[in-house]
Each structure stands twice: as C-alpha cells, then as structure tokens.
Chains A and B, each alone.
Chain A
Amino acid sequence: MSAAAVTPTPAPARRRPRLGRLLLLRGQPRTVQVGATIVGALVLAAIFAPLLAPYDQNELDFSNLLAAPSPDHLFGTDDSGRDVFSRTLYGLRIDLAIVFFVTYAALPIGVVAGAVAGYFGGWVDAVISRIVDVMLAFPFIVLVIAIVAITGPGVKGVLIGVPLVGWALYARLARSEMLVMREQPFMLATTALGYSRRRAILRHAVPNLIRTSLIYSTLDLVVNLMLLASVSYLGLGAQPPNAELGSVIAQGQANLLDAWWVATLPGLVLVAFGVGVGLVGDGLSDGKLLRRGARA
C-alpha cells in the first residue's frame, strides 16, 4: 500500500478507507493486532457489563467473604462478599466512559487552539501559549482536588478538571506543527485562493495536524485512566457503594496479604488496558493505520 505513495504513476482512484478491513486488522502490524484486540475486548466487556456480570456489583454475600478466585467468582470476592469480577466490569464501564469523554473532549479544543496560535502568531500566539504554560504548570491532581472541593466528591471533578487542563498539551503539539505547516505551499494556496482564515485553519490545516494529537491521545487515555483511578483511590471519585477500578483497588489493598486478588486482578485489568492502548498508539505512529497523513 505504501508503495503507491512512493511511485508517482497515477494509480486508479482509491476507495474510502475500508472500515471493514480496518476492523478485521488484516495486514496491520502484530503490535496493533494484539493491542486492538485487548482494547476491543475490554471496551466490549465494559459496554456489555450488565449482561456479562454474573452478580450485581453491590450484591453482598456474607457467607462468602474474601473467597479465592473460582469458577463461581472469577476474581474472587471482597471483604463484603461482593463479586470482584462484576465490580471490575462495572468499574471499567464507568472508568472507560469517563476517560474517553475527557480525553476526546480536550483533544479538539486543544488542536483548534494550537492551530489558531500557530497560524496567526504574534500576540494571539503569545496569549494562547501563556495560557497553555499556566495550565501545564498546574499540578493536575491538585487542580482536580480543588474542583472536587467545589463540586463535592464524585466523578464531576475529573469530568471538569481533565478537559480544563488536558487541552493544553494538544494545543502545544498542534501549535508547533502549525508553525511548520503555515509555510507549506498548500496553506499558502488557501490564502492565494482567497479562502477565509477559518476555512484555512479548520478545513485545511487541522486535518493535517490532528494525526500527532491522535497518537498522543492514546497515551493520554492511559494517563487519564490512571488519574481517574488515583482520584477514586483517594476517595474523590465515584462514591460507594458503586464500583470504580480505583476504589475497588483501594478497598482491596487492606486485605492484600490474605486476599491478593481483590486489589491485584482489577489492577491487572487496568494494566492490560494501558498496554493495549499503548500498542495501538505505536501502530498509529508507524503511520500504517492513518496512512493518508501529510507525511506519507
């Protein structure tokens, strides 16, 4: 496929990227296949948690406290006799929903802000870049705690805090790419053709510079998941009795020595998600998945 990008012979017009083929992962590097499989399985598990979970996440069973993993309780039970597997599924469900939302709410804001800064330069750039610096200088978790102090405990702190700060990194990435792209003849051409600046930035620049941000967003997904887990580990996330990976792990920690599974198995799910996303991100940066990017 990449050969077509090199040989200048006019190839027959290509169809739209074949979503089906992409989903089947044919011809993708092994890392992407493995990563996407892991992520896909976890996302499906999260979506279908209510169907997959053998028990209600809050169902107590005092005759069965801290039971070891068994066919009945795949991940064992915790100190209230709740099924850890079910709690992990529900926890994953809410965590992934939040993490995808906060990451991909921040991305477009950041990319557009960065593109605008890089395109105009001058004082526009100065203002946006200083705001970005301030955001990046702020200790993230402190900010989230501060927001939680205002909104009260619950996932709101993360829902507001992460996009509030998270856009800044995308803005910085997009700005630096825009500085290069601004000098590209095709951007000059948008001006020479009399297009509006808005059209030049949103329609012509952004689709070319979003690729880097998409790659970075896979890393950001993991960072945000960890952040969410830390916040709920600190008791500032989803409120009991509802499960979240961080709070499940936090509760299991008390019994780590005699019932390792309560904290460890949800933790491993967290790790698996991180590894899976990281592998996909690797594949993206190889440029094989998004092969129509500016740099063929």
Chain B
Amino acid sequence: MTEPLLTIDALSIGFGAGDEPLRAVRHVGLDIAPGEIVGLVGESGSGKSLTCRSVMRLVPAGGRVLEGQVRFDGRDVLALGDGDLRSLRAKEIGMIFQDPFSSLNPVYRIGDQLMETLRVNRGMGKAQAREEAVALLERVGIPEPRRRLLAYPHELSGGMRQRVMIALATASEPRLLIADEPTTALDVTTQAQILELLLEMRERLGMAILLVSHDFGVIAQVCDRVAVMYGGHIVETGPVETLYRDPQHPYTRALLESVPELEAAARDRSEVPRAGIPGRPPELGEELPGCVFAPRCPYARPECEAVSMALVPVGTAQASACPIQPFRTTEAVTA
C-alpha cells in the first residue's frame, strides 16, 4: 500500500474544560491515500464533521483535541505553528461546506473572491488572477465564466454556488479536499452533478477527497472506501462495494436497511419495511460500557459490555468494531 496522504490516529475530541471533557470523537483512526475518495458516513452528532474539521484544525470554539494525531504528508498537523498551518490551509487542503448559500461572502462578487484567493495564496497579479479565475470557473462547469465573475453570490443558484465554492477551495490545487456534506442542501439532480464534478476534479488534479455525508447513496456514488461513524467511534470501514454488499457491523447493516428503496415503494407502499433503528443515539458525553451501539443492537448480548470498540479486521480490506460478528456465524435474522 502506498504511503497515506492523511493519517488520523487514535483521535479524540472533547468539549468542556477540566479532566472530564465530554467526548464527541473517540479514538478515531482513518487513512487516506493520495487520490483516494474516502467517505465518512453517520447520523447527526456521530462526530463525522468534527473529525474532518480537526484535519484543518477547525474544531469549533470550546472543543479540543484530547489525544491522537493527525498527520498530513508526514507532518503533524496538530503541532504546526501558525505560519505553517496557514500555508497548509492555503495550499494543500481545501474545504467545502454544507450550505452553499452562506459559504460565499455575500458582499463580494464571486470574481473578487476567486481573485482574492489567487492573489493571496498564489501570489498572482491582478490581470493574471482574473484570467485564472475565468479558467477556474470554466473548470467547475460554470457557463459564461467571464460574465459570472461580476455576479454576486445571491444571483446564483445553490448548485452554481457550490461549484464556485469548489472552484475557490481548489484554486491552489490542494492535494486533499474535505467536503463536509457538500450536497445536503441541494436537490437530487444538482447533487448528482456536484458529485460528478468532484469525481472529475479528482481525475484532473489527482487530489484525495474526504467526503462527509449522512447519505449512503451519495457515498456509494463516488467513494472508494467508506468509514461508518456512530457515537464518536468509527464502527466499520471497508471498500464501498464490500461494505455495501456485506456489512459486518450491526449498525452499518441497520443504516443500510433504513434507506428506503424506491422500487419497493413504487410497487406497494405497505411492503416497504419500516426499517428505522429503534432507540436513540448516545448523547454527547454519555459514557456507555463496552459497545456504544449495544442498547439499540438487535444482536446485543451480555458480552457487548466488554467490547473495546477497536476495529477488528474482517476479511482482507474490511474492519468492524463488533467482535461478535453476528453476520459471520448466524444467518441474517432481521430480513
């Protein structure tokens, strides 16, 4: 295996001061190879956004990294000085956000915002930056880029804005793009276009992408590998196809089953299984003995209280935090 571009190692993030902070991310480990697209999936509050924000040291106020490491290209991101950190953000890692309606500054034309990045982060002159801004807009598939330079963000549609945001975040041709729910605020057709664009940008720039989403469909469309988060832990990782076909953790399986299938719904509504997951996810700081999913798990048994949540390899590329591995020994009971 090639040297990973990004390594997150045993990362824990907590909120609150003192010896007993509320832990939101617990011992998370994740590798991303150059050019790889890795998905991070989980429900709200599972710690996925926090994990990806920590890669750029953008953990919101009040939160702090309690332990663990983030290494980007051999450098310890969490220990970088101010100048190095800024240069890392400016040149090597780009980030796009969920809400394209507010991730562009409303008072500046998009051309000015693109040119600002090019001038500040790539040291271009004004004329050169203008030409490059046109090229960037062209690259993200915005028609009539020269004219769009003069548009304000509010004059563009959500999908267009997300395209501009992608242009802005990739202006310095970063080696890693962090996309925090980039399509959640968009309608389905626009969503597909944006995902298509992300794939295209990967091809063109060879950059790796960390895609955060709560939508398995989005992950399945673009990712090579996926990590499933629940209650601050990564409960399962693996290549998208195997994980999708043969989930090894009960939570992954429950999550996949809760995706409603259009075809079934079209046939007969009464046939659609109500496959929600009973119970509720653990609250921030709630300390559960053993497996965090045990209270909601249909396969729970007494041993679950002693589970460490460490990932155990299953097969060649997959790993699950469930050592009981109910799907290896028993036939699926739920279906």
The reply to whether A208 and B158 form a contact with Cβ atoms under 8 Å apart is no
- Interface residues in A168-221 (C-beta closer than 8 Å to B): 183-186, 188-189, 191-196, 199, 203-204, 207-208
B86 beta carbon closer than 8 Å to chain A: yes
Determine how close the nearest CB of chain A comes to the CB of B264; give it in whole angstroms: 33
B9 beta carbon closer than 8 Å to chain A: no
The reply to whether B97 and A185 form a contact with Cβ atoms under 8 Å apart is yes
The reply to whether B150 and A192 form a contact with Cβ atoms under 8 Å apart is no
Nearest CB to that of B143 among chain A residues?
A10
The reply to whether B89 and A185 form a contact with Cβ atoms under 8 Å apart is no
Question: For A193, what are the chain B residues with a Cβ–Cβ distance below 8 Å?
Answer: 89-90, 117, 120-121, 168-169
A19 beta carbon closer than 8 Å to chain B: no
A21 beta carbon closer than 8 Å to chain B: no
The CA-CA distance from A292 to B109 in the complex, in Å, is 11
The CA-CA distance from A134 to B147 in the complex, in Å, is 51
The CA-CA distance from A185 to B90 in the complex, in Å, is 16
Question: For A52, what are the chain B residues with a Cβ–Cβ distance below 8 Å?
Answer: none
Question: For B155, what are the chain A residues with a Cβ–Cβ distance below 8 Å?
Answer: 4, 10-11, 13-14
Contact A5 B89, CB 8 Å, known A191-B58, A292-B107: no
Contact A192 B94, CB 8 Å, known A9-B157, A13-B155, A296-B106: yes
A20 beta carbon closer than 8 Å to chain B: no
| The one of B95, B147, B158 that contacts A12, using a Cβ cutoff of 8 Å | B147
| The one of A10, A191, A208, A296 that contacts B105, using a Cβ cutoff of 8 Å | A208
The reply to whether B58 and A194 form a contact with Cβ atoms under 8 Å apart is no
Question: For B99, what are the chain A residues with a Cβ–Cβ distance below 8 Å?
Answer: 185
The reply to whether A292 and B106 form a contact with Cβ atoms under 8 Å apart is yes
Nearest CB to that of B153 among chain A residues?
A186
Question: For A121, what are the chain B residues with a Cβ–Cβ distance below 8 Å?
Answer: 61
| The one of A184, A194, A208, A294 that contacts B87, using a Cβ cutoff of 8 Å | A194
| The one of B58, B98, B108, B160 that contacts A192, using a Cβ cutoff of 8 Å | B58
The CA-CA distance from A134 to B66 in the complex, in Å, is 38
B327 beta carbon closer than 8 Å to chain A: no
- Interface residues in B80-109 (C-beta closer than 8 Å to A): 86-91, 93-95, 97-99, 102-109
Question: For B120, what are the chain A residues with a Cβ–Cβ distance below 8 Å?
Answer: 193-195, 199
Question: For A195, what are the chain B residues with a Cβ–Cβ distance below 8 Å?
Answer: 86, 90, 120
Question: For A139, what are the chain B residues with a Cβ–Cβ distance below 8 Å?
Answer: none
Name the residue in A185, A191, A292, A293 with the highest tally of chain B Cβ atoms < 10 Å from its Cβ. A185
Assign chain B's interface to a size class.
Answer: 35 or more
Question: For A4, what are the chain B residues with a Cβ–Cβ distance below 8 Å?
Answer: 154-155
| The one of B88, B151, B158, B160 that contacts A13, using a Cβ cutoff of 8 Å | B151
B148 beta carbon closer than 8 Å to chain A: yes
Bits for B265-294, please: 1 = Cβ < 8 Å to A, else 0: 000000000000000000000000000000
B152 beta carbon closer than 8 Å to chain A: yes
The CA-CA distance from A193 to B105 in the complex, in Å, is 13
The reply to whether A184 and B160 form a contact with Cβ atoms under 8 Å apart is no
A71 beta carbon closer than 8 Å to chain B: no
A241 beta carbon closer than 8 Å to chain B: no
Bits for A1-31, please: 1 = Cβ < 8 Å to B, else 0: 0001100111111100000000000000000
Nearest CB to that of B92 among chain A residues?
A194
- Interface residues in B223-273 (C-beta closer than 8 Å to A): none
The reply to whether A13 and B121 form a contact with Cβ atoms under 8 Å apart is no
Name the residue in A121, A183, A194 with the highest tally of chain B Cβ atoms < 10 Å from its Cβ. A194
| The one of B60, B91, B107, B160 that contacts A194, using a Cβ cutoff of 8 Å | B91
Nearest CB to that of A121 among chain B residues?
B61
The CA-CA distance from A280 to B316 in the complex, in Å, is 71
Question: For B103, what are the chain A residues with a Cβ–Cβ distance below 8 Å?
Answer: 185-186, 188-189
Name the residue in A9, A191, A192, A296 with the highest tally of chain B Cβ atoms < 10 Å from its Cβ. A192
Bits for B128-160, please: 1 = Cβ < 8 Å to A, else 0: 000000000000000000011111101111101
The reply to whether B102 and A184 form a contact with Cβ atoms under 8 Å apart is yes
Contact A13 B154, CB 8 Å, known A193-B117, A194-B89: no
Q: List 23 A-B contacts (CB under 8 A).
A: A9-B157, A10-B155, A10-B156, A11-B155, A13-B149, A14-B151, A14-B152, A185-B99, A185-B103, A188-B58, A188-B97, A189-B169, A191-B56, A192-B58, A192-B95, A193-B117, A194-B86, A194-B120, A195-B90, A204-B105, A207-B108, A208-B107, A296-B154
Q: A10-B156, A192-B169, A292-B106 given. 9 additional CB < 8 A pairs?
A: A4-B154, A10-B151, A10-B157, A11-B151, A193-B90, A194-B87, A199-B120, A204-B105, A292-B152
